[in-house]
Structures are given as structure tokens and as C-alpha cells.
């Protein structure tokens, strides 16, 4: 039987704010338990929420970033359920009237095409705290530092038909929100968490099957694996004539399976009603215009510009653009050197390899864009061969100064002085009469191969500093004159 | 001045005595603390007394008086309803759930009263989580009415009203979600004001129903209420629902001029269901105002009989969520040795909350649950608007609406406790005011068989001044507000 | 509208309240009486009436994004019924 997978995604995005959505507590990650939870976050008696303006601005920024309709009058609602990490016994969310309404998000796929995903809505809500299960033998510890962190929940229509599309969407979304500066996008710290609604149906069918929801998947890789694993599970049940139970499941990365979440089964009646402690958020056109004016260049536009302005390949653009910092770095190097293609090659080659090796992000690179630009310039003007460039790059990485200083200190300058090179060529020819004889006797094809021997000898003698193009030229002239 | 006269003097008089240095704040504070010590055993109006802190702040007030740096309430003793969070002072909300809860913060009202120099004597008993109209639902036992110890003081601010009427403080605070200031004020013969929703910050007040709750003062006179209201009011950045509307100095703007004041009498309230003796007293009070130049009109509030049904959906629904935080995890009562999480929740809540609170949580939960939201909660919110629009139309014709504050006088303990509906009917004249967010006050309108009755005056949104002025004039022309229970007979 | 004991138990579960078997009949009866009271709402036409959540037509005010709270854990957790190492404790939870 052939099954088609149908998925919708709900992404919980932590918005980059200093303070929480409804209180003045810090949102910083990693503090000791409960020191960043004030009376509001703890749901203490008599405490009231007051809305953070930055959270609203970020939400509107996102909405405009995907060209969605902004809710002119959005309302907070209470979502009621009991759980120890939910201090008030309700989560303040937006159910009836979200701040961001329908929109379309165009996801670039690997083949360069755009895949449109319908965004149903995006709404503001507060994050819950954290349950700590392994700290105590017989109890669960509750840390409410995260409670009240502003979230934007971004909900799509069931438009995904493959794990690849889902991951491409998440990557594009990650890229967009970091471009917009509304989230740090730090997935390891839970800044972007994904719920996946999955159902299967027979290929060609229009009906939706019963779905399950996989909660809180927090890496691209796990999303992909969770989808595969849940697909297998559902397909197996359906093929043996069974029925899917609508339920919430959790992806267990260690076992690479999903399992039912007991705790979420009890109460599914959230009894949403308008939060009486907060009033409607009214957003007028002037506010929307102001936010629109402040939008940065977005990934799709940047990609187009990189292709046109810098002449980089589609492939290079697809690697440079998604990470905003990487794109900025590239532009700085390209501008400093005036050699954009070379800059892209060096960044995506030696630099990326070194960063990966040391597990560093582009912003942590020990080689500044300015210094890398200096290196690119020296390759571009012929001072350095690609081989020498690698040596200089390594020295830059080790902090031995800028490219010119390293070239001078190590005497790495490529020898392009024709009289010096001519002397070298003459010497090699004189020292290798047998090879010269073979060359003269050979046909055109073989000659090419034999000339490599002479080049190698010369490079060896020059410690790699001879300009290969010039050597080739001189060698050819000399050998031709012998025959 | 005799001790007893001090205990029944209004704040305006006490202020004068303090400024004249006829009496010190410390002496005043000692007198009221002594009265609490003497009478609370029989009345049970106060649940927590802060004698030392009170005396310390009284001495501080005396120093300010000596320096001439006084504020509007410097040195005036005050009791807060135990629904206002007080930093370092136990705040119970009348519930076992919060029997030993000590907040780390003050409610904005508490902060403001402190800033005005008031001296907090302690905290008043109340119906559990402000749910009740008789003060019989308090975990700390019922409050007795100083006019008749076998009767209830009304509720939920019954402890505040009884404490005030019995001379334990010249000024008390209350909260009013459906009548909880006005009905006990009526039953205890004092003046109680529920301000416009949004006039007074709700921050630090333990929530019952967020869209209805409003704090206000209870005092011996309308003048004192004006003084206290000015001190309590104002926009609070910590309460999103507090109104960004200027606060007049209600006290200095007080006027006895009611000439031409149009007072509306809703036909739906002055109907055959109204107790004839209550009607007599209320009409007598209105006749006084008429004599002073006010004009009485009939008005219509055609949907007023829907107020009870509307209220008993909206208030429990909001309460069901507001009270979900009491789960035995971060503060409050926690059951013994919970077997698991579910057991922790269910037993902590069932053991920590009383019957009426649990009933309202159940009703509210039901009204919001799947399949019933539209029929109950959404419907009630629609009717709420219809009721509000009734008032808006009526206020096109009149400046003030008048009616009883309660359907009768104080009733004996236990007489309505078995029937929730009979108890809910205690608030038939007050609920609609909360639904519409209007200001309302109760001012004494004489006695029936020795028990007080209140006249309710309802104003336009944020127009507390007009109803204060009407009450001020009434109290100027009559002495109903001066009637006191026989304090000497209380403890005997 | 009257409710059955089963309805009440269902609602009690949502509200995390335990009702003993012996109390259930009386709770159900009183619950039904309150529902009968509020059922009066069904007799009024509210077609096209906008629900009213708040007495005044005000808008939400916004707070500047500034951290204003210092660590006040000790005072805030002073009333916690069970705590250790800065955590609130609950019986072991299995997700």
C-alpha cells in the first residue's frame, strides 16, 4: 500500500526580549532555578500581567516578514489546564483573535524552487516552566525561570507532504526569524520548538486521516527522524487494518521512536475564554507602517541580490544566505577584497571547514572579515597561489597578523619576477637532459603530461612560491626552442 | 474626648483632632487596638492584628504631624479586608487554602494608603475568596453583626463592615464583585463605595472575578469615603485594566448642592418584589434629597432581571480560572502525603477550599467547557452588554440611579446557607452595577426593627463625585449615618 | 437544565476537585439549582450582540521591555509547601 503523509507544523518560537511577556523578569537562559521568576511568573495571588511592547513588535515584524495580515484587534485568552510547570493553571495565549492572521511563506527547496506553505496564524503566548525529573529521587522539581518567556506560536495548514519539505520550512523559518532579529533561534536552548501533526492517507485520497501530534521536537535532524519514525508506525497500524488513535506523542531520540504522552491525555478541554486581566491589543496602520519601514532585507531578497550583485553561484548563495551572520561576513569580505567569487570559495571552503572543526559559529571566527578580505586580495592580485593561500589562512587562524604581515614574515610571496623564473627553468632543463629528450620525441598529448614533471621540479626548487602560470609559459617557450 | 466618642468619630473629625494635637495617632491606634481586643472575640471581624507594626507607624505618623509633613490620612487607623496582599503580613482571603500565606508584596491599595500615612491595624475577616453575602463561608468562622449578634453582617466584606460599625477602625477597605461592599455596608449601617471598574488598581488584590472585582472604602460618612477614594484611586502601570483617567480630589470637590439633580428610580427594582419596609426607608431617604432640590424620575432597566443569571455565569467562570493557581505547589495549602500529582491537586483543592468556593469553581468550569461555552459564557457576555446598554440609556435621562442596596436587613445565621439561590438573591440590587462597571454606594437609610437599611446610589462611569455629593447632602440633612450599635452591650 | 452525578464528576476532574461519593448527590442537586438559575439566559435574544469581556472599551497598554525584577527567590518561595535546592517539589511526574 502506498501512503501519503500529510503534516502541519506548529513552531513555538521564543522571542528575543530582555524581559518576559507579562513581567519584568529576565529571560536569560541558564540561571539557577526560580531566580528569574517573579511573583507574576509564579502566579502568586493578586498578581497581574502587563504586556511587553517588544513582544508585540516582534510578532508584528514576523507577520509583515511573511506578508501576513496583522490582526488590528487581537485578544488574549486563557487556556486552562493543570500542570506543575504551568503556575496559574492557565496559559495566557491567543485563541479567538491572533495577532498574526493568514499568510503565505515561500520556502526555498534544494532544487532552487519555492514551495508555498500556508500560514494559518501566529499568536503570542507565554511559555511554561520546566519539570526536572532526574534531580530528585521521588519528586519532580519545578523551575519556573522559563515561565512567561514570550513565545510566538506559528501554525501552518497541513501543507507538508514529506520530511524534507518540513525540514526545509523549518530551516527557512529559522533563517527568517534570525534575519528579522525577533529570535536568537538557538534550538539547543529551546528557542525554536516544533510540534508536528501527522496523518497518513492513501495516495490519491482527499480525506485527512486521524492525526497524532508529536510535541516539542527541537532539532532539524530530530524533526526528520521523528517524521520517518511516526510514518512507519502509522503505516504499520493502517496496513494491519488498525486505526490511529488521536493523541499526543513524544519523540525519543535515543530509541528513535515516538511514544504516547500519558500526562497530556487527561484533560483536552482547555476552556478558552478571553483573559479578563488584559485588554485588546489594538494595532493601527501607522504602527504597522513603522514596523514595515524597519524591516531588514529578507533571505529571499538577499539571495537574489547575491546572485546579481556578486555573481556567486546558486549553490554558494544557498549556503551563504540562510545564516544572517554568514551573509554579512561574506559581504564584508567581498567588499574588502573586491573579489566576491573568490571570497565565497574561501569562506565556504577553508573557513567553514576550520569553523566546523573547532565547533565555532561565524561570529566566533578568529579570522575577521577584514583579514580574510586581505587574503582574498592577495590571491586575486596573484601574490599568492591557492596553495600559499591555504598556508596564509592557517596562519591567520592562528592569529599571526594580517595577510601581508604573514606573507612578509614567512617569505611566502609568489615569485613572478620573470628573470628569476627564467633562471629556474633554465636550470631544471639543464639538469634533466633525459626528460628533455623524451619531451622532444613525444607527441602533443604526451608532451603535456611530461611538462608536469618540469613544473613540479621548479615548484619544489622554489618552495612553492613560483607563479605556476608564468612557469608554464616560460617552460613551454624553452622546451619548444630546444626541439 | 471620651474614648467611646473617638471610636465612633469619622475620619474627617479624627484628622482635625490629630492636627490639633488633641489626640496622637498612637493614642488613637491604642484605642482601636483595645476595641479590637475587647470586641473581636464576639464579632470575629478581624483575623489578623498587627499591633506592634501599627503602633510603630502611628508613632511615625505623630512625628510627621509634629514636623508638619502630613498627607491626607496621616495617623488614621485602618483595617484592610484580608483580600489585599500585605507584605510580611499573613493574607488569607478567608480560606484554609491561604491560612499561612505571607505575601512578599503589598497590594497597590495598601501601598497607596501607607503612602497617605494611614496606620494599618490588621486584616478583616471575609467570605472565602469573597464568595458569599453573609460572611458564613469564611474558614475563620462567621462574622457577627454588631447590631444583632445572631445575625450576619453581610458579605463578602462583612468583617470590614462589622469592624467599622463596632468601632474597631474609623476606615476599612473592602472589595465588591457583586455587591460585597454595598450589601454589608447596608446591613451594618455604614457608608460603602464601590468605585467604577478601573478606578482603583486590582494589583495585589486576590482575584475572584477579574472583570468585576473592584476595591473601595467603607467609612462612617460619604465625606470619609471621598477622602479614602482619592487616596486609593489612580492608574497603575501594574494593572492593565486600571483606567487612564484623571482622579479628581473627591474630597475637596464635595458639594451639598443637589439642586436639579435627576435621580432615576428603576421600575424593575421598585416593583412588587421589593420588601415594603425597605421601600419605605429608601423612599424616605429619596424624599430628603427631593426636598433638597433633586428630581425623582422613573427609569427603565428592562433587562435587570437577567443580571443574576449573567453574573452567576461570568463570575464563576472567571473564578474557576483565577483559583486554578491554588494547587498546593508554590504556596498555600497542600494535602498530606500526596500519592501522585493528581492526588496532590484534588485533595489540596478539595481540602483547602470550602463548599461555596468549590461550587462556584464547578459551575464556572462547566460554563466554559466544550459544548457549553456558547450557551453559557458567551451568552452571558452578550447579555452583559445588553444590561450595560440599559444603564447607558437610563443615564441619558438621569444623573444618578437609586434603589435599595440589599433586599432586606441582616438575617439570622444559617437562614440562607442551605440554599445557594436564596443567598445569591441578596445581591439582586447590586450585581448589575458590577456587570456594567459602574460606581455605586450604599448610605444608611434608617432602621427597620432596629436593624440598618441602605440606600444605593449608582453613578455614571467614573462619576463617583455625583453619588458622593448626593450621599454627602443626605448625611448633611439626616442623622441615619450616625446611628451606631450599642457598643457597650457587645461583649456582654 | 439539570446535571447528572456523572456530569459533575467530569467537571470536577477538569477543575481538579475531588468529590466524595457521599457528597455527590447533594453537590449535584445544588449544582443543578444554580444551572436552573442561569438557564434564564436562554430566554433572551442576543443575536448580533458583541460579547462584553470588560466594562470599558479600553485598549491594552504596553510595558517597555526592561528587566525590573531582582532575584527575590527566597521571599517568594518562603510560602512554598515543598521545596529543595531552589525547586518547587511535586510527586514524581512521568511525561
Indicate which CATH number applies to the domain containing A473.
1.10.10.410
Instruction: Give the residue extent of every domain in chain B.
Output: 3-264+396-490
* Closest to B364 (Cα-Cα) out of B207, B196, B169, B198: B207
Q: What digits encode the pLDDT tens for the residues B247-279?
A: 999 999 999 999 999 999 999 999 999 999 999
Among residues of chain A, what percentage have pLDDT more than 70?
98
Three-state helix/strand/coil letters over chain C: CCCCHHHHHHHHHHCCCCCCCCCHHHHHHHHHHHHHHHHHHHHCCCCCCCCCCCCCCCCCCEECCCCCCCCCHHHHCCCCCCEECCEEEEECCCC
pTM value?
0.91
Cα A328 to Cα A372: distance, rounded to the nearest angstrom: 13
The verdict on A325 and A277 lying in the same domain is no
Cβ pair B322, B209 in contact under 8 A? yes
Q: Which three cell numbers stand for residue C29?
A: 442537586
Cβ pair B96, B352 in contact under 8 A? yes
Cβ pair B150, B408 in contact under 8 A? no
DSSP state, A297?
Answer: -
Choosing from B133, B138, B157, B180, which is the catalytic residue?
B180
Cα A106 to Cα A102: distance, rounded to the nearest angstrom: 13
Residue of C nearest to A271 (CA): C14
Q: Using only C-alpha atoms, what is the Rg of chain B? A: 21
Cα C77 to Cα A128: distance, rounded to the nearest angstrom: 18
pLDDT at A475: 83
What sign results for the dihedral spanned by CA atoms B268, B270, B272, B275? positive
**What is the ipTM metric for this complex?**
0.96
Checking if the pLDDT of C89 tops 60, the result is yes
**Residue indicated by cell numbers 606573507:** A407
Whole-Å CA distances, B150 to A43, A242, B407: 39, 69, 19
Q: Give chain A's domain count.
A: 3
The verdict on A323 and A236 lying in the same domain is no
Whether C61 and A51 lie within 8 Å, measured CB to CB? yes
To the question of domain C5-42 being in CATH 1.10.3470, the answer is no
Give mean pLDDT, residues B62-91.
Answer: 97
Q: What are phi and psi of A151, to 5 degrees?
A: -120, 150
Please name the chains neighbouring B, where neighbouring means 3+ C-beta pairs under 8 angstroms: A, C
The verdict on A162 and A305 lying in the same domain is no
Checking if the pLDDT of A409 tops 80, the result is yes
**E-assigned strand segments in B157-196:** 171-176, 191-194
Choosing from B81, B112, B114, B460, which is the catalytic residue?
B81
Q: How far is B342 from chain A (nearest CA, A)?
A: 9
> Per mean pLDDT, which of A108-117, A474-483, B185-194, B417-426 is the most reliable?
B185-194
Q: Identify the three-state secondary structure at position B123.
A: strand
Q: Which three cell numbers stand for residue B107?
A: 497590594
Cα A426 to Cα A422: distance, rounded to the nearest angstrom: 6
Please name the chains neighbouring C, where neighbouring means 3+ C-beta pairs under 8 angstroms: A, B
The verdict on A148 and A262 lying in the same domain is yes
Task: Decide which of B461 and A436 is more confident.
Answer: B461
pLDDT at A266: 52
Whether B321 and A51 lie within 8 Å, measured CB to CB? no
Reported as type and span, the H/E element at residue B12 is helix B11-19
Q: Which of A44, A90, A277 sits opposite B331 (nearest CB)?
A: A44
Interface test with B, best of C79, C80, C84 (most B CBs within 10 A): C79
Start-to-end Cα distance in chain C: 38
From A380, A410, A440, the end of a domain falls on A410
Cβ pair A75, A94 in contact under 8 A? yes
Give mean pLDDT, residues A453-461.
Answer: 81
Q: What digits encode the pLDDT tens for the residues A384-398?
A: 888 888 989 999 999
Q: What digits encode the pLDDT tens for the residues A467-482?
A: 777 888 888 888 877 7
Give mean pLDDT, residues A87-109.
Answer: 96
Q: Which three cell numbers stand for residue A146?
A: 522559563
Checking if the pLDDT of C91 tops 60, the result is yes
Instruction: Give the residue extent of every domain in chain C.
Output: 5-42
**E-assigned strand segments in A75-217:** 77-80, 90-93, 103-108, 114-126, 130-132, 139-143, 150-156, 192-202, 212-217
Partners of residue C89 in chain A, C-beta under 8 Å: 136, 139-142
Checking if the pLDDT of C15 tops 50, the result is yes
The verdict on A105 and A237 lying in the same domain is yes
Checking if the pLDDT of B1 tops 50, the result is no
- Work out the angle at residue A168's Cα, subtended by the Cα atoms of residues A166 and A174, and round it to the nearest 5 degrees: 100
| Sequence-separated (6 or more) residues with CB below 8 Å from residue B454 | B182, B183, B185, B186, B187, B189, B192, B404, B405, B406, B442, B443, B444, B445
Whole-Å CA distances, A88 to A240, B43, B227, B322, B329: 44, 35, 36, 8, 11
Checking if the pLDDT of B246 tops 60, the result is yes
The verdict on A425 and A337 lying in the same domain is no
The verdict on A257 and A394 lying in the same domain is no
Counting Cβ atoms within 10 Å, is residue A363 exposed (0-12), middle (13-18) or buried (19+)? exposed
Cβ pair B2, B23 in contact under 8 A? no
Partners of residue B339 in chain C, C-beta under 8 Å: 91
Cα B189 to Cα A462: distance, rounded to the nearest angstrom: 110
| Sequence-separated (6 or more) residues with CB below 8 Å from residue A198 | A5, A6, A7, A211, A212, A213, A214, A227, A230, A231, A234
Q: What digits encode the pLDDT tens for the residues B371-381?
A: 899 999 999 99
Cα A2 to Cα A5: distance, rounded to the nearest angstrom: 10
| Residue A429: domain span | 418-482
Cα B108 to Cα B114: distance, rounded to the nearest angstrom: 10
Mean pLDDT, chain B, rounded, equals 96
Cα B460 to Cα C43: distance, rounded to the nearest angstrom: 28
DSSP string, B331-393: SS---SS-SSHHHHHHHHHHHHS-HHHHHHHHHHHHHHSTTTIIIIIIHHHHHHHHHHHHHHH
The verdict on A105 and A90 lying in the same domain is yes
Q: Which of B207, B330, B368 sits opposite A87 (nearest CB)?
A: B330
Whether C61 and B435 lie within 8 Å, measured CB to CB? no
Q: Which of A18, A44, A261 sits opposite C66 (nearest CB)?
A: A18
CA torsion A296-A300-A306-A311 (nearest 10°) is: -170
What sign results for the dihedral spanned by CA atoms A356, A362, A368, A373? positive
Q: pLDDT band for position C1 (50/70/90)?
A: low
* Closest to B179 (Cα-Cα) out of B139, B134, B230: B134
Is B114 tagged catalytic?
Answer: no
The verdict on A65 and A209 lying in the same domain is yes
Q: Identify the three-state secondary structure at position B190.
A: coil
Partners of residue A252 in chain C, C-beta under 8 Å: none
For A194-198, A446-450, B146-150, C65-69, which range has the lowest pLDDT when averaged over its residues?
A: A446-450
Second-level CATH architecture of B3-264+396-490: Alpha-Beta Complex (3.90)
What sign results for the dihedral spanned by CA atoms B125, B127, B133, B137? negative
Task: Decide which of A253 and A38 is more confident.
Answer: A38
For A50-59, A106-115, A338-347, C14-23, which range has the lowest pLDDT when averaged over its residues?
A: A106-115
Interface test with B, best of A20, A39, A45 (most B CBs within 10 A): A45
Cα B107 to Cα B232: distance, rounded to the nearest angstrom: 11
The verdict on A173 and A314 lying in the same domain is no
Q: Which of A39, A42, A139 sits opposite C92 (nearest CB)?
A: A139
Residue B265's DSSP bridge partners are B298
* Closest to B427 (Cα-Cα) out of B180, B175, B126, B215: B180
Q: pLDDT band for position B3 (50/70/90)?
A: low
The verdict on A370 and A437 lying in the same domain is no
Note whether C66 contacts B: Cβ–Cβ < 8 A.
no
Counting Cβ atoms within 10 Å, is residue A455 exposed (0-12), middle (13-18) or buried (19+)? middle
pLDDT at B132: 95
Is B180 tagged catalytic?
Answer: yes
The verdict on A78 and A109 lying in the same domain is yes
Amino acid at each position: 500500500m502506498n501512503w501519503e503523509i500529510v503534516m502541519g507544523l506548529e513552531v513555538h518560537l521564543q522571542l528575543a526580549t530582555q524581559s518576559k511577556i507579562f513581567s519584568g523578569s529576565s529571560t536569560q537562559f541558564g540561571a539557577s532555578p526560580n531566580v528569574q521568576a517573579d511573583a507574576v511568573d509564579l502566579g502568586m495571588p493578586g498578581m497581574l500581567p502587563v504586556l511587553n511592547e517588544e513582544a508585540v513588535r516582534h510578532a508584528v515584524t514576523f507577520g509583515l516578514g511573511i506578508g501576513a495580515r496583522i490582526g488590528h484587534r487581537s485578544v488574549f485568552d486563557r487556556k486552562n489546564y493543570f500542570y506543575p510547570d504551568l503556575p496559574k493553571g492557565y496559559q495566557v495565549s491567543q485563541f479567538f483573535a491572533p495577532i498574526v492572521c493568514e499568510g503565505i511563506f515561500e520556502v526555498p527547496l534544494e532544487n532552487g524552487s519555492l514551495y508555498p506553505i500556508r500560514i494559518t496564524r501566529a499568536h503570542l503566548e507565554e511559555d511554561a516552566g520546566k519539570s526536572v525529573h532526574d534531580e530528585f529521587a521521588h519528586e519532580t522539581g519545578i523551575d519556573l525561570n522559563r515561565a512567561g518567556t514570550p513565545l510566538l506560536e506559528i501554525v501552518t495548514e497541513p501543507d507538508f507532504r514529506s520530511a524534507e519539505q518540513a525540514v526545509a520550512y523549518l530551516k527557512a523559518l529559522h533563517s527568517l526569524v534570525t534575519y528579522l532579529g525577533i529570535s536568537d533561534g538557538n534550538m539547543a536552548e529551546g528557542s525554536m520548538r516544533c510540534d508536528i501533526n501527522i496523518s497518513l492517507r492513501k495516495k490519491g485520497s482527499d480525506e485527512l486521516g486521524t492525526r497524532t501530534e508529536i510535541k516539542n521536537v527541537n532539532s532539524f535532524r530530530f524533526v526528520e527522524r521523528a517524521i520517518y519514525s511516526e510514518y512507519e508506525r502509522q503505516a504499520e497500524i493502517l496496513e494491519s487494518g488498525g486505526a490511529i488513535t488521536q493523541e499526543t506523542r513524544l519523540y525519543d531520540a535515543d530509541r528513535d521512536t515516538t511514544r504516547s504522552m500519558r500526562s497530556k491525555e487527561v484533560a483536552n478541554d482547555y476552556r478558552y475564554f478571553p483573559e479578563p486581566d488584559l485588554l485588546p491589543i489594538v494595532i493601527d496602520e501607522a504602527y504597522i507602517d513603522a514596523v514595515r519601514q524597519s524591516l531588514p532585507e529578507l533571505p529571499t531578497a538577499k539571495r537574489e541580490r547575491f546572485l546579481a550583485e556578486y555573481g556567486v553561484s546558486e549553490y554558494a548563495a544557498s549556503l551563504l544566505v540562510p545564516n544572517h551572520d554568514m551573509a554579512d561576513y561574506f559581504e564584508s569580505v567581498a567588499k574588502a577584497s573586491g573579489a566576491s567569487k573568490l571570497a565565497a570559495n574561501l569562506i565556504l571552503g577553508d573557513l567553514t571547514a576550520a569553523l566546523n572543526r573547532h565547533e565555532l559559529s561565524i561570529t566566533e571566527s578568529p579570522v575577521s572579515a577584514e583579514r580574510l578580505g586581505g587574503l582574498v586580495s592577495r590571491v586575486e592580485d596573484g601574490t599568492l597561489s591557492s596553495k600559499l593561500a591555504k598556508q596564509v589562512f592557517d596562519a591567520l587562524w592562528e592569529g599571526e597578523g594580517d595577510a601581508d604581515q604573514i606573507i612578509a614574515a614567512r617569505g611566502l610571496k609568489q615569485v613572478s619576477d620573470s628573470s628569476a623564473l627564467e633562471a629556474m627553468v633554465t636550470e631544471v632543463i639543464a639538469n634533466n637532459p633525459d626528460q628533455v629528450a623524451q619531451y622532444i620525441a613525444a607527441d602533443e598529448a604526451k608532451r603535456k603530461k611530461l611538462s608536469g614533471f618540469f613544473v613540479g621540479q621548479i615548484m619544489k626548487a622554489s618552495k612553492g612560491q613560483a607563479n605556476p602560470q608564468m612557469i608554464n609559459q616560460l617552460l613551454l617557450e624553452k622546451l619548444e626552442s630546444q626541439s | 474626648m471620651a474614648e467611646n466618642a473617638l471610636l465612633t468619630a469619622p475620619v474627617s473629625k479624627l484628622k482635625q483632632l490629630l492636627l490639633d494635637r488633641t489626640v496622637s495617632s498612637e493614642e488613637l491606634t491604642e484605642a482601636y487596638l483595645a476595641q479590637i481586643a475587647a470586641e473581636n472575640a464576639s464579632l470575629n471581624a478581624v483575623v489578623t492584628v498587627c499591633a506592634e507594626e501599627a503602633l510603630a507607624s502611628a508613632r511615625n505618623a505623630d512625628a510627621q504631624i509634629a514636623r508638619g509633613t502630613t498627607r491626607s490620612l496621616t495617623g488614621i487607623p485602618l483595617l484592610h479586608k484580608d483580600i489585599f496582599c500585605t507584605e510580611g503580613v499573613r493574607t488569607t482571603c478567608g480560606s484554609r487554602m491561604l491560612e499561612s500565606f505571607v505575601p512578599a508584596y503589598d497590594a497597590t491599595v495598601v501601598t497607596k494608603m501607607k503612602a497617605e500615612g494611614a496606620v494599618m491595624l490588621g486584616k478583616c475577616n471575609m467570605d472565602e475568596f469573597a464568595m458569599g453575602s453573609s460572611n458564613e463561608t469564611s474558614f475563620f468562622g462567621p462574622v457577627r453583626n454588631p447590631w444583632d449578634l445572631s445575625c450576619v453582617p453581610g458579605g463578602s466584606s462583612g468583617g470590614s463592615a462589622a469592624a467599622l460599625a463596632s468601632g474597631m477602625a474609623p476606615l476599612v477597605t473592602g472589595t465588591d464583585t457583586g455587591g460585597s461592599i454595598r450589601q454589608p455596608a447596608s446591613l451594618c449601617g455604614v457608608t460603602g463605595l464601590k468605585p467604577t471598574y478601573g478606578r482603583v488598581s486590582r494589583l495585589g488584590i486576590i482575584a475572584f472575578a477579574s472583570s468585576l472585582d473592584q476595591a473601595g472604602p467603607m467609612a462612617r460618612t460619604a465625606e470619609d469615603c471621598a477622602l479614602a477614594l482619592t487616596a486609593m484611586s489612580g492608574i497603575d502601570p501594574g494593572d492593565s485594566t486600571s483606567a487612564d483617567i484623571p482622579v479628581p480630589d473627591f474630597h475637596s470637590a464635595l458639594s451639598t448642592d443637589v439642586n436639579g439633580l435627576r435621580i432615576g428610580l428603576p421600575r424593575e427594582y421598585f416593583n412588587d418584589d421589593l420588601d415594603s419596609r425597605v421601600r419605605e426607608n429608601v423612599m424616605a431617604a429619596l424624599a430628603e434629597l427631593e426636598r433638597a432640590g433633586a428630581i425623582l424620575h422613573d427609569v427603565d432597566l428592562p433587562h435587570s432581571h437577567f443580571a443574576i443569571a449573567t453574573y452567576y455565569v461570568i463570575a464563576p467562570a472567571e473564578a474557576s480560572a483565577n483559583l486554578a493557581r491554588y494547587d498546593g505547589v508554590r504556596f498555600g495549602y497542600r494535602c498530606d502525603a500526596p500519592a501522585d500529582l493528581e492526588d496532590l491537586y484534588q485533595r489540596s483543592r478539595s481540602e483547602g477550599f470550602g463548599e461555596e468556593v468549590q461550587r462556584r469553581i464547578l459551575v464556572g468550569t462547566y460554563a466554559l467547557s466544550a459544548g457549553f461555552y456558547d450557551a453559557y459564557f458567551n451568552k452571558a457576555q452578550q447579555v452583559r452588554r445588553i444590561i450595560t446598554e440599559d444603564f447607558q440609556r437610563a443615564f441619558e435621562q438621569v444623573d444618578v440611579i437609586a434603589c435599595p442596596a440589599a433586599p432586606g436587613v441582616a438575617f439570622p445565621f444559617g437562614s440562607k446557607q442551605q440554599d445557594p439561590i436564596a443567598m445569591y438573591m441578596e445581591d439582586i440590587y447590586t450585581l448589575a452595577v458590577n456587570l456594567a462597571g459602574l460606581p455605586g454606594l450604599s448610605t444608611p437609610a434608617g432602621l427597620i426593627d432596629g436593624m440598618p437599611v441602605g440606600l444605593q446610589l449608582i453613578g455614571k462611569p467614573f462619576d463617583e463625585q455625583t453619588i458622593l455629593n448626593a450621599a454627602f447632602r443626605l448625611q448633611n440633612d439626616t442623622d441615619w449615618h450616625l446611628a451606631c450599635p450599642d457598643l457597650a452591650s457587645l461583649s456582654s | 437544565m439539570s446535571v447528572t452525578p456523572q456530569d459533575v464528576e467530569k467537571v470536577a476532574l477538569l477543575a481538579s476537585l475531588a468529590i466524595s461519593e457521599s457528597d455527590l448527590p447533594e453537590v449535584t442537586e445544588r449544582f443543578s439549582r444554580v444551572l436552573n438559575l442561569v438557564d434564564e439566559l436562554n430566554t433572551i435574544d442576543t443575536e448580533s450582540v458583541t460579547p462584553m469581556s470588560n466594562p470599558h472599551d479600553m485598549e491594552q497598554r504596553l510595558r517597555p521591555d526592561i528587566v525590573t525584577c531582582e532575584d527575590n527567590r527566597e521571599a517568594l518561595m518562603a510560602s512554598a509547601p515543598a521545596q529543595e535546592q531552589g525547586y518547587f517539589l511535586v510527586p514524581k511526574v512521568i511525561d
